[in-house]
Amino acid sequence: MNRPALPFLLTFTLALAATAVQAQSREVEALNRICRDALDSGDALRAAPVCKRMQEQVERLAPGTDAALTALRNLAELKRRQDNNLAADELYTEALALVDRTGRGETLLAADLLERQADAKIARGTIFEAEPGLRRAVALRDTLNGATSLEAAATRVRHATVLAMLAQYQGAHVGYRRALAVYERAGPALRGETLATRRLIAELLARQSRLSQAESELRRLLEDASATPRVVEQVVFALDQLAWIAAESGRRDDAIALYRRELAELGQAPANAESARLVRARLADLTTTGAAAP
């Protein structure tokens, strides 16, 4: 063979290899896209066999790659939509193991996977197992997004909620307060998050029978939610809880006034009919109790 031909053959061979790799990459991307399109259609029944088949093919063609990770995440999302949270949990475990093996265990990708896995664990009732993952996700968010970032605040609320479920009230309270401070600094743009977090704090305090502190939080919630534009859902919640605390504290007249305000907020909307019925029943009990008192 002529020596001048060797460089040409080498270049040709490398070009063929590169073309094959590119073709395979396009095929893998197409497989993941087929699953994604099936998921986006909203038809989980149709998506199930498609995504399972695509995941198996991607794993065969590109094991241990980002494409394989995407396939795992797609399949895990499908399992969540099917309410098969055990399978979703296992798939997220596999995805996290892949992330760790590729040296990305301390990344935002890992934080996102940990949060999604925690959702699956909570949905299947394994709250205790969800806590360590969310604790790790909070640490990652603090380091990578910043401790006062909105991303860290959102993860902190999720972790605090799990702590509250586990009756770890002090940790939950600290987490909620730190997130609330972030949301309040963000101003009107994060008003919804501010109100929701203050509500969680009030609920936590009430669960601990710290009623005077819960009442203070609820009054702040009522004031903030009543500002324009009013957030009726939070107004109704605050009035209902304030009325309950007043009744528990023996302040019958206050409770009656608050329940009447709640009824006015509920109005005549059919969607509120059951809530209105319950409030009327409480009012009737309070009125009857008051009439029977000497």
Is the pLDDT score of 20 beyond 60? Answer: no
Q: Please give the residue that has the higher pLDDT: either 287 or 208.
A: 208
Is the pLDDT score of 290 beyond 70? Answer: no
HSE toward the beta carbon, residue 219, CA cutoff 13 A: 8
pLDDT tens-digit series, residues 174-210? 999 999 999 999 999 999 999 999 999 999 999 999 9
Range of the domain at 245: 228-294
Residue 267 within any structural domain of the chain: yes
| For residues 39-51, average pLDDT | 76
Residue 284 within any structural domain of the chain: yes
- Name the token pair of 213: 């502190």
Residue 165 within any structural domain of the chain: no
Residue 146 within any structural domain of the chain: no
Is the pLDDT score of 226 beyond 80? Answer: yes
Is the pLDDT score of 81 beyond 60? Answer: yes
Phi, psi of 104 (to 5 degrees): -120, 30
Give the number of other Cβ atoms within 10 Å of residue 190's Cβ. 17
Q: What is the pTM of this model?
A: 0.82
Phi, psi of 227 (to 5 degrees): -70, 155
CA distance 178 to 156: 8
Residue 15 within any structural domain of the chain: no
Residue 2 within any structural domain of the chain: no
| For residues 83-89, average pLDDT | 94
Is the pLDDT score of 287 beyond 80? Answer: yes
Which pLDDT value is given to residue 27? 66
| For residues 79-104, average pLDDT | 92
CA distance 124 to 79: 12
Structural domain count, the chain = 1
